[in-house]
Amino acid sequence: MRRITRYILLEFMKLSLVMSMCMTVGMLLVVVGQEAIRQGLGPTAVIKLLPYALPVALAYVVPGTILFAACSIYGRMSAMNEVIAVKSLGISPMALLWPALLFSFLISLGAVWLNDVATWGRIGLRRVALESAEQIAYGMLRSSRSYSREGLSINVKDVQGHVLVRPTLTVYEDDDGPPIRLTAEFAEIDTDAERDVLLVSMTNGEIERGDNIRMDFPGTELIEVPLSAASGEAGGSIRPADTALRRIPGEITSQRASLEDLERNLAADSAYQLMTGDFAELNDDRWSQQHAAIAGCQARLARLHTEPWRRWANGFSCFAFVLVGAPLAVRMRSADVWSSFIACFLPILIVYYPLLAYGVDLSKSGDLPPYSVWIANVVLMAVGYWMTRRMLRQ
């Protein structure tokens, strides 16, 4: 039995490693290629993206490769009647299954860690894009004479080296007011990655806003635009999905404190208006803004509570996949690994991922408790347990 156990473990490790390497290369091309095309990055920036893209790609690849290995090994063993031979010796088929289940359990723990590392990778991908904002802007201005991202657009007559000739810079603010338009004789672009700011230095120009505001400025005027806006990313605090697990408890504490402050301020303002009898003030627009701020704070708190459960559920999808894939491959008795893999992966694609998305969405919105993200895993593990019991009885 030790020989069979070693054989199964070695086959699992070999197939998982080979498939992970092949699929990771393909996924890297997709992840890095999409980011490079979307941001207009050059070769140097693309090389910088690779180490950050690696954990992101592996987080998607590992569950599929583990399922493929299970279908390949047990489908081939069943087709060659090795399972029947083990049964004829009075040995339970569980002796064949437990090495795969143990291996997938350990891989699941590693996948949880990998999902956590992927948050560092996603932040790194955006950071490289932000640091390359100057290169991206100059490249697009030289080729098409225009550069635009959320909240910002630049049009020029010509680009001479690093000097923009007759630039027009338009800044769109969050409110419904008219945009701010700046024109100048010359301008240069620089970045301050530490402050996440795009710096546009404009010489001898004018500022316009709407039809009523117009002002000339001689000399040089320095315009600061947040790099997050210039890169098409929303500013503000780090998303819960990009927060490391070790930081989430602190973020939850901070978010709760912010929520309590907002609620106290709202209660104090309401009590003051009621005491003074100024009921008309209660209909002011600032009340809706305060309620919106509280709702946003509550939504982020719910996402922070959900995030650890989601990462553990995503990681243990490896164990759930093997628990279903191994007995299904034995039952199919097919040496064609792709037939077994597709027969197992299609139901997972149709059932598991919609259930996972359903649990995650409702947990993030606060309609279900955070542990509801495990619905998909529990369903898949229950099906796998039932299939394993049937395999042992037959």
pLDDT at position 193 is 61
Return contacts of 46-49, CB within 8 angstroms, 24+ apart: 48/128, 49/124, 49/125, 49/128
Tokens 């003074």 label which residue? 276
Whether residue 167 has pLDDT greater than 70: yes
* Average pLDDT of span 369-389: 91
Whether residue 50 has pLDDT greater than 70: yes
CA–CA separation, 96 and 391 (whole Å): 12
Closest CA to 50 of 60, 38, 35: 35
Q: What is the largest CA-CA distance in the chain?
A: 94
- Reported pTM: 0.74
Q: How many CB atoms lie within 10 A of CB 67?
A: 26
User: What's 179's DSSP letter?
Assistant: P
Whether residue 307 has pLDDT greater than 60: yes
Whether residue 84 has pLDDT greater than 50: yes
pLDDT at position 33 is 73
User: What's 123's DSSP letter?
Assistant: H
CA–CA separation, 39 and 135 (whole Å): 10
CB 200 within 8 Å of CB 189:
yes
In angstroms, what is the C-alpha Rg of the chain? 28
CB 194 within 8 Å of CB 226:
no
pLDDT in tens, 251-265: 999 999 988 998 888
Q: What residues have CB less than 8 Å from 265, skipping those under 6 apart?
A: 290
pLDDT at position 45 is 73
pLDDT in tens, 312-322: 999 999 999 99
Whether residue 308 has pLDDT greater than 90: yes
CB 196 within 8 Å of CB 227:
yes
* Average pLDDT of span 269-277: 72
* Average pLDDT of span 62-91: 84
pLDDT at position 304 is 92
Find the Cα–Cα–Cα–Cα dihedral 49, 51, 53, 56, rounded to 10°.
Answer: -160
Both tokens assigned to 138? 């100059």
* Average pLDDT of span 71-89: 82
Q: How many CB atoms lie within 10 A of CB 375?
A: 19
CA–CA separation, 316 and 297 (whole Å): 30
CA–CA separation, 66 and 13 (whole Å): 9
pLDDT in tens, 333-368: 765 677 777 877 888 888 888 999 999 999 988 888
pLDDT at position 328 is 87
Confidence of residue 10 (pLDDT cuts 50, 70, 90): confident
Whether residue 182 has pLDDT greater than 70: yes
DSSP-derived 3-state class of residue 153: strand
